[in-house]
Amino acid sequence: MTKLNGEKRGYDHNSWRFHFPHTQIIKRLSILSVIGLILFFVSFAIGRYYVPVIDVIKILFNLIFPLEPTWSSQAETVVLQVRLPRIIAAILVGGALAAAGSVFQGIFKNPLVSPDIMGASAGAGFGAALGLLLSFGYYGTSTTAFILGLVAVFIALVVGSKMKNNPTLGMVLAGIMVGSLFTAGVSFIKLVADPMDELPAITYWLMGSLASIRLGDLLFLFVPVLVGIVPLFLLRWHLNMLTLEDDEARAMGLNIRQLRIIVIICATLTTSACVAMSGMIGWVGLVIPHFARKMVGCNFQVMLPTSIVMGAGFLLAVDDLARIIASSEIPLGILTAFVGAPFFLHLILKKGREII
């Protein structure tokens, strides 16, 4: 960062550093946890088929300690077969996207970065559109989306590494290029798809939804998300070093290039898995990390788990709204955009001079 005529230019990485007292953090995390727990149980109750919260608690408790049934079989089917997998998926997807967004914002030292900066979302979107066009089936389509999401980021990493003087900028530019390429591929698939059958399915999937999630699908989502989130959680202290200038990080004995690649791979795993399972749900990875930093500060040791909790709760609340505010279910990508786009504009207007 340099100064011209006393004015700071470039992104100030010092703004990422921790500044909240521990007592205040514990209090705020406790409030978030209570709100999340309430939202979890309420999400089972709301919907076109109303289930009282007390019955929800009994049905879930019955999974561990058998009880004498005082609820209807229809309520048990709705809670366990329909809403439980959807709620778990919302928690996993929301938490994973928020974690990936916070990590990418730290790596690139820019609060306007989101998980699709490396082209993972565009690659997964192309894979899903291709799977739907070729009638691969649900699991075949999800697998194709997941693999092509990883391929997109791999291409961006390889191309970006060729810019030796500034590999970070190279990865961003390569990610934009790869994302544009796969987005063009999606447009071509939509052009040649059957307008009566395949095109509506592709269009609806690209808008994002958790309506089709079932219990058997959660393993496909859980494994890559876990493989990506756990290393990020264990490396969260080192993530603070990535917000420093490269020379500062190297002076502290950190292999900055190796750590950056590991973190990008882990964040990409989670992003690709989420997009492959739920479609393209935007803004979660952009907006939630900002709220997490407002709540607990910029130290990744507490900011990363806070982002995960807030992301999970946010997407769970949005999914609840998607089920109840209209006669037909609204895609999640539309609702998250209603929240994210105004916040993005506010961020540019208020913070634009600090990030340009």
pLDDT digit string, tens, across residues 281-319: 988 998 899 889 888 888 898 999 999 999 999 999 999
CB 147 within 8 A of CB 276: no
| CA dihedral angle for residue 249, residue 250, residue 255, residue 258, rounded to 10 degrees | 70
262 part of a folded domain: yes
Interval 336-349: pLDDT, tens? 988 778 877 776 77
3 state SS of 2: strand
| Residues 69-102 pLDDT 10s | 888 999 999 999 999 999 999 999 999 999 999 9
pLDDT at 59 over 60: yes
For residue 125, tell me if it sits in a domain. Answer: yes
Q: Are 94 and 312 contacting, i.e. CB atoms less than 8 angstroms apart?
A: yes
Task: Please count the other Cβ atoms lying within 10 Å of the Cβ belonging to residue 60.
Answer: 15
Q: Does 205 score more than 70 pLDDT?
A: yes
**Token pair of 123, please?**
């690659």
Q: Cα separation of 59 and 191, whole Å?
A: 47
Residue 40 within any structural domain of the chain:
no
Residue 180's closest CA among 127, 128, 117, 131?
Answer: 117
Q: What is the pLDDT of residue 20?
A: 63
In a domain, 190, yes or no: yes
- Phi-psi bin for 253: left (phi > 0), alpha (psi -120 to 50), beta? left
Please indicate, yes or no, if residue 218 is contained in any of the structural domains: yes
CATH of the domain at 54: 1.10.3470.10
Contact 258, 126 (CB under 8 A): no
Structural domains in the chain (count): 1
What is residue 250's predicted lDDT score, i.e. its pLDDT?
73
5 within some domain: no
Task: Report, as an integer, the average pLDDT of 44-70.
Answer: 89
32 lies in some domain: no
Residue matched to tokens 């079932």? 214
- What is the extent of the structural domain holding 95? 47-67+77-351
Q: What pTM was computed for the model?
A: 0.87
Q: How far apart are CA 347 and CA 72, in angstroms?
A: 49
pLDDT for 18 equals: 47
The span from the CA of 187 to the CA of 127, in Å, is: 12
End-to-end CA distance of the chain: 12
Quote the mean pLDDT of the chain.
85
Residue 230 within any structural domain of the chain? yes
**C-alpha separations of 66 from 44, 63, 69, 80 in Å:** 19, 7, 9, 15
* CB burial readout 207-231, b (16+ within 10 A) else e: bbbbeebeeebbebbeebbeebbeb
Scored b (16 or more CB within 10 A) or e, 260-295 reads: beebbbbbbbbbbbbbbbbbbbbbbbbbbbbbbbeb
